[in-house]
Amino acid sequence: MKSTTQVLAAFVVALTFNFSVSSSHAKDPLGQRWSKESRVSMDKVSHKRFDILLKKYVDEDGYVAYSKFKASGTDRKELQTYLAELGQASISKPAARSSQIAFWINAYNAVTLEGILQEYPTSSIRNHTAKVFGYNIWKNLPIIVGEKTYTLEEIEHSILRKVNEPRIHFAIVCASVGCPRLLNSAYTGSQLEAQLILNSKDFFSRSKNFRISEKSNRLYLSSIIDWFAEDFGENDQERLKAIEPYLPASAQYRIQQSDLNIRFLDYDWSLNDQKSKKE
């Protein structure tokens, strides 16, 4: 029988091996490193270039024309330029909270788009999220911002989830049908509140994310509310209160008048591709 020391040593070796394998699949960071003197506040980072691309390739339901986007060398370069512009942002320079949130939402969505375009054609982002061995888009496709690099996982969990704004879950998009729609305009500090309200209401207007069963008195919610439950409140009552302003009016009345049993809907990991969009 192996001693405790031997078991621990084997565990450390395995952990180190897994980490090195994961690291070996990391891609070169997206974007560009800027000199310290060139960096600017997030208030001053322009998202116009990204806005133009979103309007061109994303429809009103958040589905992306990946095939056309990938075929356009000019617009692929435009996305690369935008990613480079994000790198000019300074983490240390003062910026409005709304500008910072908008910046990181756009960064998450832009990196995801770039990551999918690199792999396209594909049927799901989950085809590129290896858990142990191989490339994982959420862990191995960093972007340069200021002096550091940030992965999608870090942007979501270490930055956006820390700002105490649960509506970010209705704005960041992991290229899947089960996600909120990818807004076909870039988020900006000046419009952030209106954009978050707009996309939150849109999210709950869709039956794939929210519905009520009259017969069973059940409330069906997107799995997003389950996965990130703590971001919406400490219990079901607080979570329902957090999302209530964005529900259809009839649903708001039902929630106020009766206790509903909450169930969570299956998540659709299919790619949000216009080519496979179901009418």
> Per-residue pLDDT tens for 143-192?
999 999 999 999 999 999 999 999 999 999 999 999 999 999 999 999 99
Q: Does 17 have pLDDT greater than 70?
A: no
CB proximity list for 33: less than 8 A, separation 6 or greater: 87, 144
CA 249 to chain centre: 27
Q: Does 212 have pLDDT greater than 70?
A: yes
Helix (H) or strand (E) holding 145: strand 143-145
**Of 132, 126, 134, 110, the residue nearest 26 (C-alpha):** 134
Q: DSSP 3-state assignment of 50?
A: helix
Q: For residue 132, what pLDDT is reported?
A: 87
Q: For residue 7, what pLDDT is reported?
A: 47
* Residues 107, 101 contacting (CB under 8 angstroms): no
Distance between CA atoms of 190 and 219, rounded to whole angstroms? 34
Q: What is the mean pLDDT of residues 59-75?
A: 98
| pTM, full prediction | 0.91
State the chain's mean pLDDT as an integer: 92
* Residues 51, 102 contacting (CB under 8 angstroms): no
Q: For residue 229, what pLDDT is reported?
A: 98
Q: For residue 3, what pLDDT is reported?
A: 57
Q: For residue 6, what pLDDT is reported?
A: 55
Measuring CA to CA, how many Å separate 273 from each of 2, 127, 190?
A: 52, 15, 30
Q: For residue 14, what pLDDT is reported?
A: 46
Q: Does 253 have pLDDT greater than 80?
A: yes
Number of C-beta neighbours around residue 204 at 10 A:
22
Query: Could you give the percent of the chain with pLDDT greater than 70?
Result: 91
**Of 184, 39, 216, the residue nearest 109 (C-alpha):** 184
Q: Does 100 have pLDDT greater than 70?
A: yes
